[in-house]
Chain A
Amino acid sequence: MSTGLPLWEVFIRGRRGLSHQHVGSVHASDAEMALRNARDLYTRRGEGVSIWVVPAASVCASSPDEKEPFFDPAGDKVYRHPTFYRVPEGVKNL
């Protein structure tokens, strides 16, 4: 199978009220076809109510080399971490 077509990143919103989550990627000739391919690959089991597709080339990603300056400084600032309150029972998506 050829993979000459551009790559698209797929985001699915599982339910109203949730945000779109990245679920994977598809190949497609254009945005409309990417949307349909994403529908067929990622929502066959009722996973979604909304789909976004974004050209993979448009995603600007952080580099693994930058991991230390990017993320490590937050590690020892526990007062910022949301761990000092109890999650009410029955809250599913926080």
Chain B
Amino acid sequence: MTATTEASTDSATPASVAQYALQLGDDALILSHRLSEWCAHSPELEEDVALANLALDLLGQARTLLTYAGSLEGAGRSEDDLAFLRTEREFGNVLLVEQPNGDFAVTIARQLYFATYQSELYAALCDSTDPELAALAAKAVKEVAYHRDHAVQWTLRLGDGTAESHRRMQAGLDQLWPYTAELFFPDPVATELVQQGIAVDPRTLRPAWEASVAGVIEAATLTVPADGWQPRGGRVGMHGEEFGLLLGEMQALHRQYPGASW
């Protein structure tokens, strides 16, 4: 890299860090919303509370990241403005987190894939040269370790449970596997910040993620899905059809009563 481009990279940093924080914040926010949809619909009362707890952990991460992104952006947008007043194409979350809940096994598959990814990501992000991101990661890494444990426990029980639970767990893993490729795709925003030690190169997370996820799937007597179709585009705002409905519900109150609070 030449001196000129490095200088321009440095000057572009706050906007890039804002975008990176927004991507990670959107991941947490959208998955939080999906998990909150289970409220009062879980198989057991205990599971209702468990999933709501995971959703609240993610919402906390999203609030920190969105607030930070808003402050770096310098346009005076608050966490609420970013969460509730952006449109579909302005969200940078990966496609995996917006996938509909499906049955309980699909939700657990999504949790296994994403919580394992987030565990690896936050563990690496603890060493970020950006103190805000490092502090967020240090707090969140403990939360997502529990999220992963929750998903592992359920994957083992559903996979190694009855013939029906085994079938559904395998179907859930198969259905969402294609969306995991995007987690490790080299995104331009992250790539630029990796050189400055701010962001984590998503490609470096893949080996540990694969080993961890494959270990759980095999222990649960299930089969690791084969690679095939690998959709992506979430990071640049290209989302699936269901995402509009998700935003519609998530943003309805704030759009009907702008600035509502309690």
A residues contacting B by CB (< 8 A) are: 1-3, 5, 26-30, 32-33, 36-37, 40-41, 44
Chain A residues, CB < 8 A from B150: 36
B43 within 8 A of A: yes
Cβ A28 vs Cβ B153 within 8 A: no
Cβ B44 vs Cβ A27 within 8 A: yes
Q: Which 6 pairs of residues, A with B, have the shortest CB-CB distance?
A: A37-B46, A40-B50, A40-B53, A40-B49, A26-B46, A1-B45
Chain A residues, CB < 8 A from B45: 1, 27
Per-position 1/0 for B23-64, Cβ under 8 A of A: 000000000000000000011111111100100000000000
Bound state CA distance, A60 and B42, in angstroms? 32
Bound state CA distance, A28 and B45, in angstroms? 10
Given contacts A1-B43, A1-B44, A2-B44, contact A33 B49 (CB under 8 A): no
Chain A residues, CB < 8 A from B43: 1-2
Bound state CA distance, A44 and B57, in angstroms? 11
Please tell me the number of chain B residues within 8 Å of chain A, measured between CB atoms: 14
B233 nearest CB across to chain A (Å): 35
B117 nearest CB across to chain A (Å): 21
A25 nearest CB across to chain B (Å): 10
B149 within 8 A of A: yes
Chain B residues, CB < 8 A from A26: 46
B157 within 8 A of A: yes
- The B interface is mostly helix, strand or loop, or mixed, namely helix
Among A2, A30, A36, contact of B149 (Cβ-Cβ < 8 Å): A36
Using CB atoms, name the residue of chain B closest to A42. Answer: B49
List 24 A-B pairs, Cβ < 8 Å. A1-B42, A1-B43, A1-B44, A1-B45, A1-B48, A2-B43, A2-B44, A27-B46, A28-B46, A30-B157, A32-B153, A33-B157, A36-B50, A36-B149, A36-B150, A36-B153, A37-B46, A37-B47, A40-B46, A40-B49, A40-B50, A40-B53, A41-B49, A44-B53
Beta-carbon contacts under 8 Å, B97-129 to A? none
Bound state CA distance, A30 and B50, in angstroms? 16
Bound state CA distance, A1 and B47, in angstroms? 10
A-B CB pair tally, cutoff 8 Å? 34
Bound state CA distance, A27 and B49, in angstroms? 12
Chain B residues, CB < 8 A from A1: 42-45, 48
Bound state CA distance, A30 and B42, in angstroms? 18
B221 nearest CB across to chain A (Å): 16
Bound state CA distance, A3 and B43, in angstroms? 9
Which of A3, A36, A44 has the largest number of chain B CB atoms within 10 A? Answer: A36
Using CB atoms, name the residue of chain B closest to A35. Answer: B153
Using CB atoms, name the residue of chain B closest to A33. Answer: B153
Given contacts A1-B43, A1-B44, A5-B44, contact A37 B50 (CB under 8 A): yes
Bound state CA distance, A29 and B45, in angstroms? 13
Chain B residues, CB < 8 A from A3: 44
Chain A residues, CB < 8 A from B49: 37, 40-41
Chain A residues, CB < 8 A from B48: 1
Bound state CA distance, A30 and B156, in angstroms? 12
Chain A residues, CB < 8 A from B53: 40, 44
Bound state CA distance, A36 and B49, in angstroms? 11
Bound state CA distance, A56 and B46, in angstroms? 16
**Can you name 9 extra interface pairs (CB under 8 A) apart from A27-B45, A33-B157, A40-B53?**
A1-B48, A3-B44, A5-B44, A27-B44, A27-B46, A28-B46, A29-B157, A33-B153, A37-B46
